[in-house]
Amino acid sequence: MTKRNFTLNSIGKWTVFYIGLICAVFFFVFPIFWIVTTSLKHRVDVYTEKPVLLFSVTWQNYQRIFELHDFGRYLLNSFIVATSVTLIIMYFGALAAYALTRWRIKGYNWVSLAIISARMFPPIALLPSFFLFASRIGIVDTRQVLIFAHATYGLPFIVFMLAGFFRQIPRDLDDAALIDGCSYFRLFNWIMLPSVAPGLAATAILSFIWSWNEFLFALVLTRASSKTLPVVISEFIGFVQVDWQGLTAMATILLLPSIIITFATQKYLVRGLTAGAVKG
């Protein structure tokens, strides 16, 4: 691909360009920088009129939220929920995407419409009656109900994404395996899943982050023992005196996975999206 050749012909223009760029970077990066550093500060450095940039690092904020507020348990909840959701979405998403791309299904239009439009139904419109249903059968405040809700609500998008990957695998592969007497079950598990590995990796990242970040379902469906991090944080704000040190430490932990993943996958994100756009 030939690169466009916008040459910026004077130093003045370059200066303006970089000033704009640095302003943008500052706007997007400073909040994260500020939260992370605040969580490492002593009390005197947090509650000041003037932002303190040089400070002595302390881990006591983290120590405190784990010791006083039982943060570890909720961290574990979040981790268990997000991991289970990821595994479920990967497997059942691939299964559905495979079915949609390999067979002509009766009522195809309705099935695909049902799957795609599910994502458009705002959670707030489902929650009143789903909550009543869940509390009637006594599954509110369990991790399972949250896992179910996250996985189901996250699936349609993933099915759509994985369908693109399955489409690139030639059907000859299926046929060869079937003629050799392979069952559909084994064909799917041992041949199809490995061949869409890149798609599954993307799925894993997106599902994990989706479940880890999700707030509304978790807020309504969990009460006490199975709360996830976003819910715990939202409750922590409600205290009379806002404890910014504790909150920033919690927020940093909540931020960590997404920051790491963005750093690690940025190149693939851009490349993947660009490739998708080229195919049109």
- Looking at 203, 226, 244, 246, which residue binds another protein (CB under 8 A)? 244
Kindly state the DSSP code that residue 4 receives in the 8-state scheme: P
Smallest gap, in angstroms, from Cβ of residue 57 to another protein?
Answer: 19
Nearest to 65 by CA among 214, 222, 243: 243
Toward another protein, which CB reaches closer, 62 or 166? 166
Give the angle subtended at the CA of 135 by the CAs of 88 and 215, to the nearest 5°.
Answer: 55
Smallest gap, in angstroms, from Cβ of residue 231 to another protein?
Answer: 8
Helices (H), 69-122: 71-102, 108-118
| Tokens linked to 203 | 């799925």
Smallest gap, in angstroms, from Cβ of residue 68 to another protein?
Answer: 19
Toward another protein, which CB reaches closer, 24 or 76? 24
C-beta separation of 35 from 251 below 8 A = yes
Residues 161-190 that bind another protein (CB under 8 A): 163-164, 166-167, 175, 178-179, 181, 183-184, 188
Toward another protein, which CB reaches closer, 80 or 118? 118
Toward another protein, which CB reaches closer, 56 or 103? 103
**Contacts with another protein, 246-275, as mask; x by CB under 8 A:** -xx--x--xx--xx-xxx--xx-xx--xx-
Toward another protein, which CB reaches closer, 60 or 258? 258
For residues 196 and 187, what is the distance between their CA atoms, to the nearest angstrom?
13
Q: What is the dihedral of CA 72, 78, 81, 87, to 10 degrees?
A: -100
Nearest to 119 by CA among 91, 83, 160, 147: 160
Backbone angles phi and psi of 129, in degrees to 5: -85, -30
Toward another protein, which CB reaches closer, 50 or 57? 50
Taking phi over 0 as left and psi of -120 to 50 as alpha, with beta for the rest, 4 belongs to beta
* 216 makes contact with another protein (CB under 8 A): yes
| Tokens linked to 79 | 């981790």
Residues 21-40 that bind another protein (CB under 8 A): 21, 24-25, 27-32, 34-35, 38
Residues 35-64 that bind another protein (CB under 8 A): 35, 38, 46-51
- Looking at 58, 60, 152, 189, which residue binds another protein (CB under 8 A)? 152
C-beta separation of 193 from 249 below 8 A = no
Smallest gap, in angstroms, from Cβ of residue 117 to another protein?
Answer: 5
* 19 makes contact with another protein (CB under 8 A): no
Start-to-end Cα distance in the chain: 16
| Tokens linked to 228 | 């996830």
Smallest gap, in angstroms, from Cβ of residue 143 to another protein?
Answer: 16
Residues 90-149 that bind another protein (CB under 8 A): 92-93, 95-96, 98-105, 108-109, 111-118, 120-122, 124-133, 148-149
| Tokens linked to 69 | 């507020």
Smallest gap, in angstroms, from Cβ of residue 264 to another protein?
Answer: 10
